[in-house]
Amino acid sequence: MSFLGNLIWLIFGGFLSGLGYIVGGLLTMLTIIGIPFGKGAIKLGVATMAPFGREIVITDESLTPLNLIFNALWAILFGWEIAISHLVHGLIFAITIVGLPFAKQHFKLIPLALFPFGKELR
């Protein structure tokens, strides 16, 4: 089921969305200050490529002061826009019964979009 869900997800926008995150992350990494944020964007892009069958896991290093600072900066600069995008797309998919599994995946990506540092999608 997760293979089929991921395949349909990729065909209907997941690939382009994930590719956008990855390209944005690579562009952000052109500056030294942007490297951690680029890594966060790439992590979100990889998670967006295949979200079915995966869960968000909080790592041991999630509460380090550096991760807390990066999460706060990320949420202010990038995260809230990405989270609102996932929320809107999730609500649109939730209109139909067929779209409910895809809405669930968008809702699952919201916490990762807001605070990506110290979290992984496994």
Range of the domain at 80: 2-121
Digit-coded pLDDT (tens) for 21-64: 999 999 999 999 999 999 989 988 988 899 998 888 998 888 89
Report pTM. 0.88
In the chain, the number of structural domains is: 1
Dihedral-angle region of residue 59 (phi above 0 means left; psi in -120 to 50 means alpha; beta otherwise): beta
Angle at 47 between CA 55 and CA 14, to 5 degrees: 120
pLDDT (tens digit, 9 = 90+) per residue, 60-69?
Answer: 888 899 999 9
